[in-house]
Structure formats: C-alpha cells, structure tokens
Structure 1
Amino acid sequence: MILHIESSTQVCSVALSEKGKLVKHLEINSHEFVHGEQLTLLIDALFEAINGSIKDLSAVSVAIGPGSYTGLRIGLATAKGIAFGLKVPIMGISSLQSLIYLAKQQYLDSYFIAAFDAKRNEVYMRMESDNEILLYDQPVDLNDFDFTWPNHCVLVGDGNLKVAQTLKNAKFMLDSTCTPSALGQIQLAWDRWSCNSFDNIYELCPNYTKPCFIAERINKNS
C-alpha cells in the first residue's frame, strides 16, 4: 500500500491506496491549520479503520507545495519519518498538480488553472491543458498578469477568484468545491511507483516557489 499525505493548505488529508485504487481516505477541512495536532492522529485512524498496520506500507507520497510553509514542513517531516523508519520509497507530489488532477476527473474542459492564495495580490499558479503543462508551479503577481485566455477553462484553488478577476475575454468556471486532497495523489503516485521514479529522502524538500520571509522584531530602544 501507499500512504498519501496532503498538508499544503488548511485541509489536512491522508489516504491509503493499493495499485492505484483507493483503500481508505480521511481528512479534516478546517478554518485553522490543525496539521501539527491532527496529522499523525489521522494516519493512525486510517490504519485502524482498515485493521491494518503501518508496516504494510510499500511507499509514501507527500505534497511538497507550493502552499503553507508550516503545513508543508509538517507533512514532509511526517512522511520522511515514516519512509525512513520503514525503509520504503518516498515521492514528492506537486500540490497544484494533484489539485488539477482532481479537477480533470470532474470536467471535460481542455484547460485548467490551479491557484493558491499567496497574500497581497499574488497567487501560486499552475496551468495545464489536457496533455501539456502550460505553466509550472510558480508565484504570480497578478498586478503584472496579462493573459488573454482563448478557451473555456476551469479555475480551482482558494486563489481562483483573484485569478478570474484578471482574465480577459475568457470563458471560465470557478469551482470552490474542488479542494486539495490526498485523493489527488493516488494515480500520480502509482504512475511514479510503476516506473520506479522515487525521490532522494535526504534531498526532498518543500517547493515554496518563493522565499519564506520572517519579520525581525525591532528593538525600539536601539
């Protein structure tokens, strides 16, 4: 079995799959980030629900971003700990890629945009057609975003409304129900498992796509 972990947004989601088929899925969609308190508990509940053992795992896949800095670190640290302890392969999966994969299962449209809110007027964005990646995961400043979309497209992710306001002469559908989930990793991870495409556990790190800036506390007496 493969364990899938998604923690790039406020959704805390885990799933188990066997040969590309869902075995069990659990998730918490909260207005707060609960990954630190709930992720390992969800994983325990996952195995308890199927009367299984974590020792049954043959691999782990995990969302590597873009997304929440803290959520990604928690998810990746958990995945690495499990993979290292069990000596099984690990696979990092793009959070935006797995979200678009879920959208493609629901719509027949040819174009998809996944966007996570990156604060201010920025989003983390990925664009795909049916069979081509048009824009790889990257931060986009919507103040400079000038893209005329000629075809109907589906916009997903919590930054989709911000993107929609910048599209010109475009027909699009906003879907706020398609949210990041470990379910989106199942087929992507199985495809990689099938061709032995694994990541180096020591080198795998979150894809923040932009630096994490930490404000310094100013000493007013200095």
Structure 2
Amino acid sequence: MAILLCIETTTTNCSVALAKDDVILSFKEDMGLNYSHAERLHIYIAEVLREANISKSEIDAVAVSKGPGSYTGLRIGVSAAKGLCYALSVPLIATNTLKALAMQVNDPCDYIIPVLDARRMEVYSAIFNSEFNELRGIEAQIVAEDSFLKYLDSGKVVFVGNGAAKLKDLIKHPNAQFNDVALPSAREMVTLAAAKHKISDTEDVAYFEPFYLKDFYVTSKKK
C-alpha cells in the first residue's frame, strides 16, 4: 500500500488529494474563478493529511499535474511538489493533465476532447477514445468552426474543460457536446498516479520541468 499526495494547479482550480494507492482518503479543492494557489495549496496539503490522520513522513510519493496550463499555476504546483520530495526523500510522479480532465466524462460517447483555454482563440487539446486511450497527443491550436471535424463526422464527441466555452460558439455540429465547467482536478489524478507508482514511473526531481507547451509572455499595461 502506498500513500500518494496529488497536487493539481494547472488552472484556477487549486486541488489536493491524498490517497492510499487509488483510493482517496481526503480531498480539497477551490473551484473559484480566481487563482488561489499561493494562499491555499499548502493549507490544503496540511488539511488532507490531518483529515486522513496521516503524517508527512508516511507519504510514499508526490504526484503533480504536469500541464499544459497556467504558467504561474504550474510553477507553484511543481515547486511545492519538488520541495516535498526533497524534504521527504520520496519520488516525484508527473501525471497527464488532459487525460485526467478527460476522465471526468461519464456520458456515452465515441471521442473525448479535453480543451483548456490558452488565450485568444487558442486551446490546449488532446483526443481520447471512450476508454481514455490517447488517439492524438497534446497540441496548442487555434480553433475554428471546422476544428475536430474528422472526429465529429465519425461519432459523438464530448468537449470538456474551460476551453469548451470557445468551441460552443463556433461548432454547431449535431455530434458535439460541451462541458465548459469542468477543470482538471486531483481527484482524477489519483488513478493515474497510482498506476505510475506501481511501475516506478517517476521523474528526476532535480531536472523535472512542467509541460508549458507555449512560451510564457507578459503583456504590457495600457497607459
């Protein structure tokens, strides 16, 4: 039995889960519209440990959602995960952010396309079948009304994530279904982290970096 601490900070959702293998012992998250990671992440970590009556020394591995997503959110989550791994001398596990998001879909469908907002008319996306097997890897793409037409013409498609709001206004295909409320969560990370821990699929703590996909840039203030 392994005690796993899972951290998800790729979007505005600050989410932490503590699990024994793939069974969640305690869970906290803030699904607000504003970023609260700097204020809440370490509080949530302490709370899930306390609620499960687990000490930090009992943690066997720390898992972090690797991105893509918010640059600042990713840095906060990865920094916290690395700090814990160094302090506790435990391995670091990185999980697929978009796969965990896809796993929130329970409706019968042929394809699941998790989409995260990437500014303007761009999204981060990947494509999975109903068994959560990856059919196309993660890409940053500008969306249009004919985006994902190959999959829409082949069967029912569920778009899930905050990027789905952009697609709802563009895609009017009868096979399209949208869930623009869902955000990546530590809840779905647990299954992925447990599977990786079982086969010792871990990261080099010193050299691991989040999967940004796009370069970070700062916009100047208007005068």
Task: Tell me, yes or no, whether TM beats 0.5.
Answer: yes
Paired residue for 2:203, among 180, 191, 199?
A: 199
Which segment drifts farther, 142-151 or 77-86? Answer: 142-151
3-state SS of paired residue (1:82): helix
Determine the structure 1 residue equivalent to 2:129: 129
3-state SS of paired residue (1:47): helix
**Partners of 1:93 and 1:170 in 2: CA distance:** 32
- Asked if structure 2 preserves the Cα contact closer than 8 Å seen for 1:115 and 1:163, the reply is no
Determine the structure 2 residue equivalent to 1:44: 46
Question: How much does 1:135 deviate?
Answer: 2.2
Query: Percent of aligned positions with the same letter in both sequences?
Result: 29
Structure 1 unaligned regions, length at least 5: none
Deviations 1:13-60 (A, max 9, x none): 000111211111011112211101110011011111122211110001
Determine the structure 1 residue equivalent to 2:216: 212
Determine the structure 2 residue equivalent to 1:119: 119
Answer yes or no: is 1:64 the counterpart of 2:81.
no
What is the TM-score when the length of structure 1 is the normalising length?
Answer: 0.90
Tell me how many residue pairs correspond in the alignment. 217
Opposite residue 124 of structure 1, the aligned amino acid is Y
CA RMSD, Structure 1 to Structure 2 (Å): 2.0
Determine the structure 2 residue equivalent to 1:18: 20
Deviations 1:48-74 (A, max 9, x none): 112221111000110111111001100
Structure 2 unaligned regions, length at least 5: none
**Aligned in 2, Cα 1:169/1:98: closer, same or farther, shift over 3 Å?**
same
Map 1:154-169 onto structure 2 (within 5 A): 154-167=158-171, 169=173
- Asked if structure 2 preserves the Cα contact closer than 8 Å seen for 1:147 and 1:167, the reply is no
Determine the structure 2 residue equivalent to 1:152: 156
Map 1:185-196 onto structure 2 (within 5 A): 185-196=189-200
Determine the structure 2 residue equivalent to 1:87: 89
- Asked if structure 2 preserves the Cα contact closer than 8 Å seen for 1:5 and 1:14, the reply is yes
Deviations 1:52-111 (A, max 9, x none): 2111100011011111100110000000000111111111112111111222xx223221
